């Protein structure tokens, strides 16, 4: 894949316009709804080592005050730190959706730190729980270089229920791109319409698995944390190009992780795929 430098062309990857509902292989349950379901048993999809697009999950060090020690992620994967949340199921399920719903050549999902030079070979990186990350000055400098050379960062699954989380994220963005404010995405923004049309009515809370509860008759009920209104923000470069997409008070990653879980709301998975694919197409064409 060509190195990130200014625009990253989509090349021969002509888009296959398809409905996200076509992704709905919702047989096996992918595991762990606060008492609903069990561990995932179905095999993960396989991908070629090389591709036009790889899901790149950013590795980072936690703030000492919010450190997540060595523990389990999905599918009994193990790792140290908050960066592993929803890994690997979210990465593989979403990559499979990109492969099925577009003509982008999708390679195997990867995870790496900002200091890995391979970061510049990829137009799109994803980070979760960014209210608890602790980027060093070297990592901030590398992130700035990556974004200004045409890269795109998606951040997800951090919440106003932790009053420190927004301040930590905003401070990191201020260090990364000084003078470039975090602004609310407008419905008219290109990233909302580059493939799927996402309107204000679609900008709704996407629950994490921890927000689902068993209701009467075995129904699944959604319990939104108090005071957590979903919001979408962005950071733009000097040319007005969006370089950071912010999913706040919502959990897109869980909707990908549990894409094959019958208990997880299908409409939420569909919406999460629309957001993610729009971000990818925007990153690869702007």
Residue 11 has pLDDT above 70, yes or no: no
Q: What is the pLDDT of residues 119-166, one digit of tens each?
A: 999 999 999 999 999 999 999 999 999 999 999 999 999 999 888 999
Express each pLDDT in 31-47 by its tens digit.
444 444 444 557 889 99
Mean pLDDT of 255-261: 90
> How many percent of the chain have pLDDT more than 70?
82
pLDDT digits (tens, 9 = 90+) for 96-126: 999 999 999 999 999 999 999 999 999 999 9
- Quick one: what percent of the chain has pLDDT higher than 90? 63
CATH number at 204 reads 3.40.50.12140
Per-residue model confidence as pLDDT tens digits over 171-187: 999 999 999 999 999 99
Q: Domain for residue 178, yes or no?
A: yes
Domain count, the chain: 1
**Residue at 10 is within a domain:** no
Domain hosting residue 62, numbered range: 22-285
189 Cβ contact list (under 8 Å, min separation 6): 234, 242
Q: How many CA atoms lie within 13 A of 193 on its CB side?
A: 8
Contact status, residue 21 vs residue 12, Cβ threshold 8 Å: no
Q: Per the domain annotation, does 126 fall within a domain?
A: yes
| pLDDT band per the 50, 70, 90 thresholds, residue 22 | very low
pLDDT on residue 72:
61
Beta bridge partners of 106: 53
**Domain assignment present for 159:** yes
Contact criterion met (CB below 8 Å) for 268 and 251: no
Kindly state whether residue 181 falls inside one of the protein's structural domains: yes
Is residue 19 pLDDT above 60, yes or no? no
What ranges make up the beta strands (E) of the chain? 56-59, 70-72, 78-80, 110-113, 124-128, 152-158, 183-184, 212-214, 220-222, 231-236, 242-248
For the segment 64-77, the average pLDDT, to the nearest whole number, is: 70
CA-CA distance, 52 to 11, in Å (whole number)? 9
* DSSP for residue 2: P
In a domain? residue 2: no
Residue 208 belongs to some domain of the structure? yes
């Amino acid at each position: 894949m060509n190195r990130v430098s200014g625009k990253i062309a989509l090349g021969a990857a002509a888009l296959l316009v398809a409905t996200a509902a076509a992704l709905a292989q919702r047989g096996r349950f992918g595991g762990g709804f606060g008492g609903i379901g069990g561990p995932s048993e179905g095999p993960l999809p396989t991908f070629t080592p090389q591709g036009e697009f790889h899901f790149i999950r950013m590795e980072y060090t936690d703030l000492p005050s919010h450190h997540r020690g060595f523990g389990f992620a999905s599918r009994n994967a193990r790792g140290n730190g908050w960066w592993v949340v929803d890994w690997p199921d979210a990465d593989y399920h979403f990559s499979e959706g990109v492969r099925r719903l577009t003509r982008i050549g999708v390679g195997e999902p990867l995870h790496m730190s900002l200091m890995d030079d391979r970061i510049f070979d990829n137009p799109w990186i994803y980070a979760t729980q960014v209210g608890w990350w602790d980027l060093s000055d070297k990592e901030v400098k590398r992130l700035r270089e990556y974004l200004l050379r045409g890269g795109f960062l998606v951040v997800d699954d951090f919440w106003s229920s932790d009053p420190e989380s927004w301040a930590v994220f905003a401070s990191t963005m201020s260090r990364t791109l000084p003078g470039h404010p975090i602004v609310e995405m407008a419905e008219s923004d290109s990233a909302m319409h580059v493939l799927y049309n996402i309107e204000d009515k679609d900008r709704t809370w996407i629950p994490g698995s921890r927000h689902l509860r068993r209701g009467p008759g075995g129904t699944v009920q959604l319990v939104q944390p108090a005071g957590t209104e979903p919001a979408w923000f962005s950071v733009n470069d000097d040319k007005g190009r969006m370089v950071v997409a912010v999913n706040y008070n919502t959990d897109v990653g869980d909707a990908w992780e549990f894409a094959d879980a019958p208990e997880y709301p299908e409409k939420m998975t569909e919406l999460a795929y629309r957001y993610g694919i729009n971000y990818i197409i925007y990153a690869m064409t702007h």
